[in-house]
Amino acid sequence: EAGVAQSPRYKIIEKRQSVAFWCNPISGHATLYWYQQILGQGPKLLIQFQNNGVVDDSQLPKDRFSAERLKGVDSTLKIQPAKLEDSAVYLCASREVQGTQYFGPGTRLTVL
C-alpha cells in the first residue's frame, strides 16, 4: 500500500513570497491533516479535512495560510505571503474514518 505522498520535499523562498505544498493521502482515507512542525517542537495541527469539508482550522493563520481539498482526495496548503517564522516542516497525514494517522515525509520550508 502506498503511503502519504508530499511534494516538494524541500523549498527555500524569500520572505513575502508565496509557496504551495501538495499532499496525496493514502487511497480511501477520508480524513486529511496538515501539521506545522517547528524545529525542536512537536507537530501542531493547522487544518483537518473530512472528505472535502473542513473539520478544524482553528490554528490556521487565515490571513496568510489557506488550504483546500478538492474532490476529497489531494490537498494543497498555501502560504501567501511567507514570513521568517513560517520556516518549518509541513507534514500531511491521513487516516480512515477511525484509525491511526499515517504521515507523509514532510516538506521542509526555509524562509530567508
Q: Which is nearer to other proteins, 14 or 40 (CB)?
A: 40
Least distance to other proteins, CB of residue 81, Å: 26
Where do the DSSP E strands lie in 25-63? 31-37, 44-50, 53-56
C-alpha torsion sign, points 58, 24, 98, 35: negative
- Number of residues located near other proteins, criterion CB under 8 A: 25
**100 scored as a contact of other proteins (CB under 8 A):** yes
Q: Which is nearer to other proteins, 19 or 23 (CB)?
A: 23
- Residue 109 CA to residue 38 CA, distance in Å, equals 10
**41 scored as a contact of other proteins (CB under 8 A):** yes
Is residue 82 a contact partner of residue 13, using CB atoms and an 8 Å limit?
yes
Span of 15-23, 61-69, 70-78, 93-101 interacting with other proteins by CB under 8 A? 93-101
**25 scored as a contact of other proteins (CB under 8 A):** no
**43 scored as a contact of other proteins (CB under 8 A):** yes
In eight-state DSSP terms, residue 75 is: E
Is residue 106 a contact partner of residue 91, using CB atoms and an 8 Å limit?
yes
- Residue 48 CA to residue 55 CA, distance in Å, equals 5
- Which residues make up the interface to other proteins (CB under 8 A)? 4, 31, 33, 40-45, 48, 50, 55-56, 91, 93, 95, 98, 100-106, 108
